[in-house]
């Protein structure tokens, strides 16, 4: 069974480690959001690609959900000494990835190629695809101004009021090679428990992606990132609310309803089952909060059953 997953960062990565345990890693393709990509100190940083790669490779800093475990921050501290605004945390080991990627991109490699090179070096068999190799930048409109998603998320810790998400480059960004085929050829498409607006929404905004999801013969199953009216991590609840979407598993189901066949929701949201079913979707109720590795495997199993 060929599976394609749409993924953002931490939530998706955690879910995918469970999934990778119960399916053949080589049967799994992950399409990853690149809207958070940012250039800092001249380095091309792909936060979501790195989180998914590091997590699947078992080298992620589990507590943080990003970066490499046991990393040091000596380069960043020194950059600060040199007067650089170092609001984005980059460990020394992590920096190697960004140095490598930036150098390969400057040499003319595509983000797809670089992502694949890193995946292979880290011994992963799962296919990791950036959603696009073209410029795409998620910006958050707030009363304090419009800022890059990572500035909103990391520098300002999601404190400014969310007014809207803007996708710079969306009109011209093409899906990366393999993205549309991975959706068309899959037996199962999984929308990971990621931010529907700025993680999955960005992927859905790429020309051809939504259409491929509507046409695919694959069953399309989402995992709701909203549990009991809130997110486990990140600003998805604030953003859905800001967009006038109900902050609930039902709201998520409705957001994806046009291409979705089933949704996995948390036991705490079991009461929403009937409303979601009325959207014409199958609903699977289970524990979706992944605290342990067993939680991740159990959730992945539930998704395969949905």
Q: Which of 26, 58, 72, 135 binds a second copy (CB under 8 A)?
A: 72
Is residue 82 a contact residue for a second copy (CB under 8 A)? yes
Is residue 63 a contact residue for a second copy (CB under 8 A)? no
> What is the spatial distance between Cα 148 and Cα 200, in angstroms, rounded to a whole number?
17
**Which among 209, 165, 169 is positioned nearest to 191, based on CA atoms?**
209
Quick one: tokens of 122?
């880290």
**Which among 268, 267, 265, 299 is positioned nearest to 279, based on CA atoms?**
265
In the bound complex, what is the minimum distance in angstroms from residue 118's beta carbon to a second copy?
A: 6
Interface segment toward a second copy; rule CB under 8 A; list 71-79, 141-149, 213-221, 230-238: 71-79
Q: Which of residues 57 and 243 has its CB atom nearest to a second copy in the complex?
A: 57
Q: Which of residues 89 and 305 has its CB atom nearest to a second copy in the complex?
A: 89
Quick one: tokens of 156?
């300002």
Q: Which of 21, 25, 27, 71 binds a second copy (CB under 8 A)?
A: 71
Is residue 147 a contact residue for a second copy (CB under 8 A)? no
Q: Which of residues 40 and 147 has its CB atom nearest to a second copy in the complex?
A: 40
- With a CB cutoff of 8 Å and minimum separation 6, the contacts of 205 are 167, 170
> Taking every pair of C-alpha atoms in the chain, what is the biggest distance, in angstroms?
59
> What is the spatial distance between Cα 136 and Cα 174, in angstroms, rounded to a whole number?
10
Is residue 135 a contact residue for a second copy (CB under 8 A)? no
Is residue 168 a contact residue for a second copy (CB under 8 A)? no
> What is the spatial distance between Cα 45 and Cα 188, in angstroms, rounded to a whole number?
30
In the bound complex, what is the minimum distance in angstroms from residue 178's beta carbon to a second copy?
A: 22
Q: Is 41 exposed, middle or buried (0-12, 13-18, 19+ CB in 10 A)?
A: middle
Quick one: tokens of 233?
């991590």
Q: Which of 5, 28, 95, 249 binds a second copy (CB under 8 A)?
A: 95
Residue with tokens 């140095």: 99
Interface segment toward a second copy; rule CB under 8 A; list 29-37, 40-48, 124-132, 249-257: 40-48
> What is the spatial distance between Cα 298 and Cα 107, in angstroms, rounded to a whole number?
43
Quick one: tokens of 30?
């992950």
Q: How many residues bind a second copy (CB under 8 A)?
A: 33
Is residue 92 a contact residue for a second copy (CB under 8 A)? yes
Strands 28-32 and 127-130: parallel
Q: Which of 2, 21, 23, 41 binds a second copy (CB under 8 A)?
A: 41
101 to 120, contacts with a second copy by CB under 8 A? 102-103, 106-107, 117-118
Binding site for a second copy (CB under 8 A): 41-43, 68, 71-72, 74-79, 81-84, 91-97, 99-100, 102-103, 106-107, 117-118, 121-122
């Amino acid at each position: 069974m060929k599976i394609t997953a749409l993924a953002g960062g931490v939530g998706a990565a955690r879910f995918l480690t469970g999934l990778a345990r119960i399916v053949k890693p080589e049967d799994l393709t992950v399409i990853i959001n690149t809207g958070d990509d940012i250039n800092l100190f001249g380095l091309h940083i792909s936060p979501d690609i790195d989180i998914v790669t590091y997590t699947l490779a078992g080298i992620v800093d589990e507590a943080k959900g990003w970066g490499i475990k046991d990393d040091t921050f000596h380069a960043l501290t020194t950059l600060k000494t040199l007067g650089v605004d170092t609001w984005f945390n980059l460990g020394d080991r992590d920096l190697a990835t960004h140095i490598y990627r930036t150098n390969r991109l400057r040499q003319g490699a595509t983000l797809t190629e670089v992502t694949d090179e890193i995946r292979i070096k880290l011994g992963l068999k799962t296919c990791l695809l950036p959603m696009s190799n073209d410029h795409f930048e998620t910006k958050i409109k707030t009363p304090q101004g419009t800022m890059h998603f990572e500035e909103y998320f990391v520098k300002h810790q999601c404190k400014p009021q969310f007014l809207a998400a803007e996708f710079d480059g969306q009109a011209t960004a093409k899906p990366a090679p393999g993205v549309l085929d991975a959706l068309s050829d899959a037996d199962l498409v999984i929308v990971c428990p990621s931010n529907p607006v700025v993680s999955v929404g960005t992927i859905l905004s790429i020309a051809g992606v939504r259409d491929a999801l509507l046409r695919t013969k694959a069953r399309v199953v989402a995992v709701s990132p909203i549990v009991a009216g809130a997110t486990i991590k990140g600003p998805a609840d604030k953003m859905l609310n800001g967009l006038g979407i109900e902050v609930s598993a039902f709201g998520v189901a409705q957001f994806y309803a046009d291409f979705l066949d089933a949704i996995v929701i948390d036991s705490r949201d079991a009461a929403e089952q009937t409303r979601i079913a009325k959207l014409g979707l199958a609903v699977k109720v289970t524990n979706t909060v992944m605290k342990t590795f067993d939680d991740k495997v159990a959730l992945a199993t539930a998704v395969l059953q949905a």
